[in-house]
Amino acid sequence: QTCALPIFLRAVEVDFASVLEKKNALVSLRQIIRELEGAQAAMWSPMVLNGDGFGVLANHSLVMASYLSRANAAVIDLRMLHERG
pLDDT confidence of residue 50:
65
pTM of the model: 0.77
For 54-69, what is the mean pLDDT?
76
Q: Are 69 and 60 in contact (CB under 8 A)?
A: no
pLDDT confidence of residue 65:
86
pLDDT confidence of residue 72:
92
User: Is the pLDDT reported for residue 17 higher than 90?
Assistant: yes
Q: Are 25 and 82 in contact (CB under 8 A)?
A: yes
pLDDT confidence of residue 51:
63
Give the residue ranges of DSSP H helices in the chain.
5-15, 17-22, 26-39, 60-84
